[in-house]
Amino acid sequence: MITGGLLIALGITVISMGGMVFALTCAAVTGIMVWELSRMIDDDRASQAIQLGVVTAICLLLARQLPDIYTLPLLLIPAVSGAFLLRKHPWLFAVYAVGITVAGFGLTAFRDTYGVVWLFWLVIVVAMTDIAGYFAGKMIGGAKFWPSISPKKTWAGIIAGWLAAVLVSFVFLAITDAGRDLIWISALLSFASQMGDIAESAVKRRMGVKDSSNLLPGHGGLFDRFDALLGASLFMLLTALIVDVPELQF
């Protein structure tokens, strides 16, 4: 509970501050998650894992500062580097590293482009999806959603997460100038966050580990805490390409 409370307080602070503070935080968190990923996949390459984490953070910051033409090549550098440095499952690392790095960059770009309200909406949808899914799964139970990968997730929890996201959208419709498209976008964002969680569960199950690391007491690693947020970030990057995303105002 203490760790969770500190994470929430830190998250609210850095999202509110934005700018370089938020960018540095995202770069550090993204770098740590790539380090955790590399340690899970190839735990014999400890020094290489540290190098990959540092390179990831640097590339994310450079991608934010340099012209757009350099963005994708910079974000691919950690994945390509890991494919050469790691001996075990290099391409598995590369696929997940691309997702982590692009999602981390996407959060900073989304905050810069669309403002703080959208980012708070995204984080709240992810959090409420997780909370509703947990309690519905515990209280209702029932059929499993994807037992071979995530044996604790139930259909009741998945659907409860969608409903919670829709309720969050109604709150933001009431307090902002958002359009009604926010309802279906929130539901899909909820599903994307659940898929982010399941994607991380898949790699942990394949590697035979319980947690991505032991950095956070009672929570495991940063990858364990932010996997759903990564899925949501990737979804919003795609959504912003096909849907007009206006800046929300209270």
Could you report the per-residue pLDDT of 178-230, keeping only the tens digit for each? 888 899 999 999 999 999 999 999 999 889 888 898 888 777 889 988 999 99
> What average pLDDT score do residues 106-135 get?
90
Q: What is the 3-state secondary structure (H, E, C) of 131-189?
A: HHHHHHHHHCCCCEEECCCEEEEEHHHHHHHHHHHHHHHHHHHHHCCCCCHHHHHHHHH
Nearest one of 47, 70, 49 to 59, comparing CA atoms: 70
Whole-angstrom distance, CA of residue 157 vs CA of residue 141: 8
Contacts of 10 (CB under 8 A, 6+ apart): 25
DSSP state of 69: G
> What pLDDT was estimated at residue 53?
96
What single-letter DSSP state applies at residue 243?
S
**Which has the closest alpha carbon to 234: 196, 187, 194?**
196
How many CB atoms are located within 10 Å of the residue 217 CB? 8
Is residue 249's pLDDT more than 70?
no
| Collapsed DSSP state (helix, strand, coil) of residue 216 | strand
pLDDT in tens, 143-169: 889 888 888 889 999 999 999 999 999
Closest C-alpha to 53, from 97, 88, 21, 22: 97
The whole model's pTM is what? 0.91
d(C-alpha 189, C-alpha 123), whole Å: 10
